[in-house]
Amino acid sequence: MRWTPGGMSRNIEDRRGASGGGGFGMAPMGIGGAVILLVLSLIFGVDLTGGGGGSPIPQSSGGEVAGPVQETPEEHQQAQFVSFVLDSAQSAWHQRLPDYKDAGMVLYRGGTQTGCGFGQAAAGPFYCPADQKVYLDLSFFSEMKSRLGASGDFAQAYVIAHELGHHIQHQAGIDAQLRNSGGNENAKSVQLELQADCLAGVWGNMASQKGQLDHGDVEEGLNAASKIGDDALQRQSTGVVRPESFTHGSSAQRMAALRRGLQSGDPNQCKIGSF
């Protein structure tokens, strides 16, 4: 991607120098549920994801203690990139959706308190509807590259844009409406995740129109979508694919949803039930 380092976004809260502590809770909406946990343990043999794409995570019983942020040059650049993507995407959504209100983002290491409980890096990036913030441990990007084979800056941007897709759903009441409707919970979760992928693609289209995408960026995003499909993660972690347990969609579905947004640039093409 073509981007310019700058100051940190006013919507970012940097907790990388903080620590906190214990209990149980749940963070509901993430890029792949517990992507790293899926890879490191037999998650689909013992379902730890819960309905709706959430991942069980400990809830803090105490406060967090802030401290100075120490970072490597590489991590500093990653934080700057995340800040750029966050502001770029939210600026684009303000132009496309007049009632759009910014989401917050929290950068943390290891674990942090959220409005949805205590978030852990092992759950991957996630959006918490209760406080309307995206939570991200930057180490996830290394996991994407080394464990999942999903590399490239646009692959990282796709992750952020996907979580903002959940923010759009929450502001529009789509998540609550779908969850309160009848039907299979896993199927409803898949629709929410595919819509978030499609909305991420819509932002990618807008970024392309602004000249922010380089040659190969779209392929990086589509490759990332293929690596975090439920079937791909199940096959990698257990060797067995169980379609009835899907909560985020297959690799083919996730790629198709992202591609639809990228090609159309139209959020109206991302309606629930159309995937």
* Residue pLDDT, tens place only, 191-234: 999 999 999 999 999 999 999 999 999 999 999 999 999 999 99
In a domain, 2, yes or no: no
Answer yes or no: is 1 within a domain. no
pLDDT bin (cut points 50, 70, 90) of residue 44 is very low
For residue 225, the model assigns a pLDDT of 96
Q: Rounded to whole angstroms, how far apart are CA atoms 275 and 172?
A: 19
Query: What secondary structure does DSSP assign to 88-143, as a single string?
Result: HHHHHHHHH-TT--PPEEEE-SSEEEETTEEEEGGG-SEEETTTTEEEE-THHHHH
Whether residue 4 is contained in a domain is answered as no
Q: Containing domain of residue 61, as a range?
A: 12-270
For residue 27, the model assigns a pLDDT of 37
User: Does residue 26 belong to any structural domain of this protein?
Assistant: yes
Proportion of the chain above pLDDT 70, given as a percent: 82
pLDDT at 67 over 70: no
Given this model, what pLDDT does residue 183 score?
A: 86
Does some domain include residue 5? no
Q: What is the pTM of this model?
A: 0.85
Average pLDDT of span 131-150 = 93
Query: Residue 27, SS3?
Result: strand
Mean pLDDT for the stretch of residues 39-47: 35
For residue 65, which of 13, 14, 114, 18 has the smallest C-alpha distance? 18
Highest mean pLDDT among 25-34, 109-118, 143-152: 109-118
Domain count, the chain: 1
133 inside domain: yes
Least confident segment among 100-104, 134-138, 145-149, 253-257: 145-149
CB-based contacts of 262: which residues, under 8 Å, 6+ apart?
Answer: 201, 202, 204, 205, 208, 218, 221
With respect to residue 275, please indicate whether it lies within any of the assigned structural domains. Answer: no
Cα distances from 198 to residues 38, 86, 104, 263, in angstroms, run 23, 17, 21, 10
Whether 40 shows a pLDDT value over 60: the answer reads: no
169 pLDDT exceeds 80?
A: yes
Check whether 51 has a pLDDT greater than 50.
no
Domain contains 117: yes
pLDDT score, position 119: 92
